[in-house]
Amino acid sequence: MQTSSHNDIIMLPHKINIEEDVCVGTLYQNARTIKRLKEHFQPYINLLTQPSGTKFFLILLSMLSMQFVTSIRNIYRWFLSGINGASLNSYYYLLTYTELPLEAFFRKTIKIALSLIPEELNGLPIFLIIDDTLQAKYGTHFECYQTMFDHAKHNNTNYLKGHCFVALTISVPIILEGCIRYLNIPVGFRLRSKDENKLEIASKMLDNAMSILGNYPMTILLCDSWYPKGAVRKTVMRHKNLNLIASVRIDTSIFELPPPRTGKRGAPRKKGEAIDFYTDLNFIRIGDYYIAVKQVMTNLFEGPVYLTVTTPDLLNRKAHRLFISTLMPDAIRKQFKGYETELSDSLVSKVPWLLPLYLYSYRWAIEVCFYELKTFWSFGLYMLRSKNGIENFVNMLAMSYASMKILPFSDQQFSFLMNESAQTIKNVVGDAIKQELFLWRFVSSSESYVNSKEIFDLLPALDSPDKHSKAS
């Protein structure tokens, strides 16, 4: 048999039409890992036609089985061609020309994430995290290819040529080893063209998410200083149960609370005197940082917000960082009341007035997501040129990544992997997929259907992926 030079997956030499072969039913019924993956992805598959749904699921399987996914041609050669009789062009057509319902996919992911929350944690806030990431591409024929400012200075330059993606993730509370932890799951990515505004894209993604989260007790949006303005700010104001904790620019105008009404004629003042946070705030040293907090007014929101200012050096004005929260510490503490012992790694019971700053630290989870997708999941190796194709491919990759974070908490078979990274889970699941597909190919080539059935009847007695992983 042929094998990949990267040992990604066993090459299946003979094409079999997955819809017509008699063994396919037994593959989904008895190949336990593939069966469970199909059950997990079924809500997404149901949104597509039957042929598209089959190809869609097989691409997801290939993404979980192969170490690197460089192109559709690559996964077709080493995976798809040995399973499905469909042509390479049909897979290109699915990704490039088929209008995959990405918005509906995003809502399905949110619903699945919410289903992971234990009943006893239903009152805790959930987090929506929004940010953008740049991906360098070496070629000018990609749609939406542009030169962008790169604040991280990749490749020792302030500019990067490639693509900009706006991403949304959701963090939900779970119980892990007796403690409350937040599981961060990517919801979706949108590719920004030259004529589009990141704030408008982010606003549409938030509105789509809030169509599912509209009745949830408390949702908090976490973002950096680029997003708490424009369309995103209006979105936060539009949804009553959506709050904001964000970093803001250092030149943001800050004001005292409006003075009490005096009874004199005329409209009362909406804001008090302007605040110079360098000199008008009282800083307290906590660890390596000086921190000051105050309830203030800004031009961003009509009502009061909670301001937190941090700096490692009071004399260095460039080192100051500003954070605002539309939630006051008392409101946050009320939501976490009764869970203090399970939140042992937090400052909930120690320094309550730092709660907004503590919750903002959860925003780092989206950076970890970007790092893992780019380092271990071939995020930047796509070769499709159209915007539609790139978005479809990247979002399917994100769905594969999300499934590896979700399955240990949604399926008892994978529960022993709760403490493992998405990459480790992918390796375990990928090995199981390859073993099951190899056996399926062997059974499908057996002399009779009776022999095939007898072999598949032995599957439950074979070594399962979870037992194999535990033994290793």
pTM of the model: 0.86
Cβ density class 185-202: b for 16+ within 10 Å, e for less: bbbbbbbbeeeeebbebb
Residue 268 burial by Cβ neighbours in a 10 Å radius (0-12, 13-18, 19+): exposed
Tokens of 468: 């194999």
Among the listed residues 204, 264, 202, 207, the one whose alpha carbon sits nearest the alpha carbon of residue 228: 202
The DSSP code for 257 is P
Question: So where are the chain's domains?
Answer: 24-98+383-471, 102-249+328-374
Where are the extended beta strands (E) located within 249-337? Answer: 254-255, 284-286, 289-298, 305-311, 321-325
Handedness of CA 38, 40, 46, 52 (dihedral sign): negative
pLDDT tens-place values along the chain, 472 residues long: 333 334 343 344 334 343 433 344 445 555 688 989 999 999 999 999 999 999 999 999 999 999 888 888 888 988 888 777 789 999 999 998 888 999 999 999 999 999 999 998 988 999 999 999 999 888 778 888 888 877 766 666 778 888 999 999 999 999 988 888 999 999 999 999 988 999 999 999 999 999 999 889 899 999 999 999 999 999 999 999 999 999 999 999 999 998 887 667 767 788 889 999 899 999 999 889 999 999 999 999 999 999 999 999 999 989 999 999 999 999 998 888 877 666 655 544 567 888 999 999 999 999 999 999 999 998 988 888 899 999 999 999 999 999 999 999 999 989 999 999 999 999 999 999 988 888 777 766 654 555 555 555 655 555 555 554 444 4
Q: What is the DSSP string of 3-62?
A: B-TT--SB---S---TTT-TTHHHHHHH-HHHHHHHHHHHHHHTTS-HHHHHHHHHHHHH
